Amino acid sequence: MPSTSSGAVLVERRGAVTILSINDAPYNRMSLEFMDELERLVESLTSDETVRAVVITGDGDRNFSVGMNLKQLPQGIKEKGSADALFDQRLKVLSAIENMGKPWVATLFGYCLGGGLELPLACHFRLAADDGAEIGLPEMDLGTVPAWGGSARLVRCVGRDHALDMILRAKKISGPEALRIGLVQEVWPSAELKAKAIALGEELASMPRHAVKAMLGCLVGAETKTLEQSLRDERDAVHATQNTPDQVEGIMAFLEKRKPAFNQS
């Protein structure tokens, strides 16, 4: 996968899709440098209107990520001023991904542990390898707990019982098991996984961008909203997409029995 950066994050652009790869093969640890670079990239991707979808993966074919480089923990606390400040940066970045208004697709293969699952949990789509994946929040094995929002997002994703089972038992699950409990939307052979994720990113990027942003605003966090609030959010989304060029194009394409060509203006 050719890339345009040699730092902690490899960056590739394919049309309206940006592909980010954690650049620390084979384990793809989420170093301090990685998180700082990801924070800058998230900010620039948010403001770049030509980017309509993002794929996040790990360099190489062995692991998505083993999570934070624990050897850097003392350094990170010193640089940020406290452990809370260090973790707050990660919470901020993951929240920005979740609320960007552009769909993110994560690939889960090999080790996807700790931060290597917490980051995908902030993404909107997760695709897993059908073999070899070990997915989990194993912080209990280290005598501690998830710190990047893992427990909060996992329980919203798979429900309390599955979250309890995974976290309290430091359990690592496979791609097919992740699909069964609703942690991922699709499972593919390892050799096809990244290509399938990019294809999904391209599919999402082809959708009407204003409608995608409006619907992400409705659906992200919807499980904690009242029905009345969700209905208000949906009506706001209707208003936000009324009379846009994409809505006009969609209706004309339907009437003319052709495929719509969105995002032309």
The residues assigned a catalytic role are 118, 139
Burial of 91: CB neighbours in 10 Å, binned 0-12, 13-18, 19+:
middle
Task: Give the C-alpha separation, 65 to 23, whole Å.
Answer: 10
Task: Give the C-alpha separation, 105 to 127, whole Å.
Answer: 7
Task: Give the C-alpha separation, 201 to 203, whole Å.
Answer: 5
Task: Give the C-alpha separation, 146 to 29, whole Å.
Answer: 16
What does each C-alpha distance from 98 to 79, 92, 242 come to in angstroms?
26, 10, 25
Asked whether the beta carbons of 114 and 67 are under 8 A apart, the reply is yes
- State whether residue 258 is helix, strand or coil: coil
Asked whether the beta carbons of 199 and 143 are under 8 A apart, the reply is no
Helices and strands of the chain, counted as H and E runs: 11, 8
Task: Give the C-alpha separation, 78 to 72, whole Å.
Answer: 10
DSSP letters spanning 197-253 = HHHHHHHHHTS-HHHHHHHHHHHTTGGGS-HHHHHHHHHHHHHHHTT-HHHHHHHHH
- Sheet strand arrangement including 125-129: 9-14, 17-22, 53-58, 104-108, 125-129, 186-188
